[in-house]
Structure 1
Amino acid sequence: MNVKKISWVALFIALSVIGGMIKVPGPVSSIALDSFPALLAAGLLGAGPGALVGAFGHLISALIGGLPMGPLHLLVAAEMAVVVWLFGKMYGSGKRILAVLVFVLLNGLAAPAPFILVMGWPFYAGAAPAITIAAVFNGIVAAVLLPRVLPVFEKRFGRVHA
């Protein structure tokens, strides 16, 4: 990864920190609007850099929220990295609407599912709606911004995407 891409990743992580301060009411204080910068990074820079932004964005959002699930946030960060990576691959291959839908379903419904084993069905039933609402908002913001930002970004900085 070159210096330009590292700088962009750092900028998007900073945007995730800001989004992480905008919380969605729910049973866990780390549910926030920290994902759309990762989705933007995945669409502009590629799936790998987007995955890094997704993982670090979640970890910083969780830290701001007081790490309510302790070390389990590492699992959530890994899930975010995978979901954003998949979004970046799908978005980059032209399946833009499908990429947003898959992001919302995986992030909102599938990613919290492993926590049923640890925290039970009541946690999932309480967390999944709030996470899904946040995923819908993050996905919509990314879907609206990416087609507008991508041409400007590529004109100004060239094709950074691998």
Structure 2
Amino acid sequence: MKTKEIVLTALFIALSFIGASVKVMGSIAFDSMPGFLGALLLGPTYGAFIGMTGHLLTAMLSGFPLSFPVHMIIMIDMGLTMAVFSLVYQKIAKKDDFSLKGVIVAGILGVIMNGPISLIMLIPFLLPAIGFAGMIAFLPVLSGIAALNIILACFVYKLLPYRIEKVRKKI
């Protein structure tokens, strides 16, 4: 691990903590924006770690409203979402500094993983507690907030000065 990677990871985790305080519904918050940005800048491993830590912070601040085991599953899903988002973006963008096509494809996949796939993973735990209607009620909120987190992360990534892009390439 390089010092720059550690410092940037810590910065993004701190930003996740701030985002975790901006809640929309229960433990659904703006904690994943730094994870998506970290996935773009630092790659899939760091992005996954930031995303997982961000969700854990949100769940802790919310008092684990869906239970500790459910939030651990969501945490794993967040890590997978960040890793896949990063890998898909890298595959499409290749050497480009910014790829609109990469952002769109990776973003759509990120929303699908963070919304419907996350809910499918939680069916055995949430369906008995909140029913089918409750599960469906989460879908637009989860997907919408995921989309906003991704859009914000991509917007910030696009606006980063060229010199920061050069630093990213050296990491």
Common fold: TM-score over 0.5: yes
Q: How does 1:84-99 map onto structure 2 within 5 Å?
A: 84-93=82-91, 94=93, 95-99=102-106
How big is the alpha-carbon RMSD for the aligned residues of Structure 1 and Structure 2? 1.5
Aligned length in residues: 157
State the 1:151 CA deviation: 3.0
- Percent identical residues: 32
Q: What is the CA–CA distance in structure 2 between the aligned matches of 1:122 and 1:83, rounded to whole Å?
A: 25
- What amino acid sits opposite 1:33 in the alignment? F
**Unaligned residue ranges in structure 1 (runs of 5+):** none
Of residues 127, 134, 144, the one that matches 2:138 is 127
Distance 2:143 2:155 in 1: 18
Q: TM-score, normalised by structure 2?
A: 0.85
**1:138 paired to 2:149:** yes
Question: Which residue of structure 2 lines up, in the alignment, with residue 107 of structure 1?
Answer: 114
- Hey, what does 2:23 align to over in structure 1? 23
- The residue type equivalent to 1:132 in the other structure is S
Residues 159 and 132 of structure 1, relative CA distance in 2, 3 Å threshold: same
Give the aligned partner of residue 10 of structure 2. 10
1:54·1:84 contact (CA, 8 Å) conserved in 2?
Answer: yes
Deviation >4 Å, runs of 4+: none
Query: Match for 2:79: what amino acid?
Result: A
More helix by share: 2
Shift of 1:158: 4.7
Give the distance between the partners of 1:160 and 1:61, measured in 2 at CA: 32
Check conservation: 2:36, 2:85, Cα contact below 8 A. yes
Larger Rg: 2
The amino acid of 2:64's aligned partner reads: L
Unaligned stretches of 5+ in structure 2? 94-101
State the secondary structure of the residue aligned to 1:34. Answer: coil
The answer as to whether partners of 2:49 and 2:79 remain within 8 angstroms in 1 is: yes
- Which residue in 2 is equivalent to 1:40? 37
CA distance 1:160–1:82, shift in 2 (3 Å): farther
